[in-house]
């Protein structure tokens, strides 16, 4: 799917139980009902490619085949992601469609923390494309992030980019919340007050 070099190929089926064995029964039910199989498809590292590593030693590629899909996909992927200390590029496949999900991870108190999750919209398999770019694990990982979330690239520092993205995302969510309140508010004075707050938030997006 990604046309990665053969040296990166793993092609190993990963047991679904690994991810739900210590979780509530509803999580197990989701894995059994909705997920067909999980494949560790590729490993991108200095061992498998002629590249360097800096903050990240490896980038894994997982293909997850779904029997059916719903709004819980992102939460399930985040659960899987949280159990593996390396950055992962997830390829979500359902019938003839695919979408990519990955997250920005960093090490905090010797633990891997998921800072933000990003996803690319569903596409037909034949149209899907992500390019392998970079001469280090870190650069390849960053480039995948920027291809998946094209609005993410504000400056040269990935962590600053993600922080800025989260700030903008929170502002937009607050503006949308205000818009809903204005729509349902019968008082003209309160609508005007809400509109003034929205103008202030709009200004922060510039």
Summarised one tens digit per residue, pLDDT across range 119-130 is: 999 999 999 999
Range of the domain at 142: 6-153
Does residue 158 form part of some domain? Answer: no
End-to-end CA distance of the chain: 38
Please state which of the ranges 21-25, 145-149, 153-157, 183-187 shows the lowest mean pLDDT: 153-157
Q: Average pLDDT of 80-86? A: 91
Based on the fold, state whether residues 118 and 75 are members of the same structural domain: yes
Based on the fold, state whether residues 33 and 125 are members of the same structural domain: yes
Based on the fold, state whether residues 36 and 132 are members of the same structural domain: yes
* Alpha helical stretches, state H, 35-136: 73-82
- pTM value? 0.86
**Of 26, 2, 158, residue with least CA distance to 89:** 2
The answer to whether the beta carbons of residues 116 and 152 sit under 8 Å apart is no
Give the pLDDT band of residue 117 (cuts 50, 70, 90). very high
Rounded Cα distance, 45 and 48, in Å: 5
The answer to whether the beta carbons of residues 141 and 56 sit under 8 Å apart is yes
Based on the fold, state whether residues 50 and 137 are members of the same structural domain: yes
pLDDT tens-digit series, residues 161-198: 888 888 888 899 999 999 999 999 999 899 999 999 89
The count of domains in the chain is 2
Does residue 1 form part of some domain? Answer: no
């Amino acid at each position: 799917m990604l046309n990665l070099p053969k040296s990166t190929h793993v092609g190993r089926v990963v047991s679904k139980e690994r991810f739900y064995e210590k979780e509530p029964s509803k999580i197990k039910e989701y894995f059994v009902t909705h997920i067909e199989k999980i494949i560790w498809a590729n490993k991108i590292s200095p061992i498998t490619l002629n590249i360097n590593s800096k903050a990240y030693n490896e980038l894994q590629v997982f293909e997850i085949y779904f029997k059916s899909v719903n709004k819980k996909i992102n939460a399930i992927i985040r659960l899987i992601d949280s159990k593996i200390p390396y950055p992962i590029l997830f390829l979500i496949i359902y019938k003839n469609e695919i979408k990519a999900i990955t997250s920005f991870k960093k090490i905090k108190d010797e633990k891997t923390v998921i800072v933000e999750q990003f996803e690319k919209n569903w596409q037909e398999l034949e149209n899907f494309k992500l390019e392998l770019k970079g001469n280090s694990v870190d650069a390849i990982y960053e480039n995948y992030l920027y291809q998946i979330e094209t609005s993410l690239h504000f400056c040269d520092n990935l962590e600053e980019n993600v922080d800025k993205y989260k700030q903008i995302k929170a502002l937009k969510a607050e503006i949308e919340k205000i818009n809903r309140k204005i729509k349902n508010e019968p008082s003209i004075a309160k609508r005007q007050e809400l509109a003034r707050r929205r103008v202030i938030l709009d200004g922060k997006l510039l």
